[in-house]
Amino acid sequence: MSDNPSTIHGGEGAGSGFAWNDSAELHKCEDGGGLFHRFKVLRRGTVAEMIEFVMDLPEEKREDYAIQKAGDRTFKYAEIVTLYRRSDFPKGDA
């Protein structure tokens, strides 16, 4: 796991690069009770693998998922897209 918390845009104070190989969990968000109500862990892997998985889903299903980076934070769909579009995202390497 990386030493610094993640920032999507690699802002000041972040370590060099994004920790794409850190552990992560994919969650399905269900209706009712707020963001963490009835979160379900569907799979585990690296951050890059989870992002690839979400982006491979049909577009209308992608917003139903969030990625929890181990020891760090939760990325919802808009942030997942931003990370996927970064020039340093390891597409195909996940």
Of residues 64 and 4, more confidence is placed in 64
Residue 35: pLDDT above 70?
Answer: no
pTM of the model as a whole: 0.74
What per-residue confidence (pLDDT) applies to 80? Answer: 97
Q: Can you read off the two tokens belonging to residue 53?
A: 């998985």
What per-residue confidence (pLDDT) applies to 1? Answer: 46
Residue 59: pLDDT above 80?
Answer: yes
Kindly state the helix (H) or strand (E) to which residue 48 belongs, with its residue range.
helix 47-56
Q: Could you tell me what percent of the chain has a pLDDT over 70?
A: 68
- Radius of gyration of the chain, Cα coordinates, nearest whole angstrom: 13
**Integer Cα distance of 10 and 19 in angstroms:** 11
Q: Could you tell me what percent of the chain has a pLDDT over 90?
A: 55
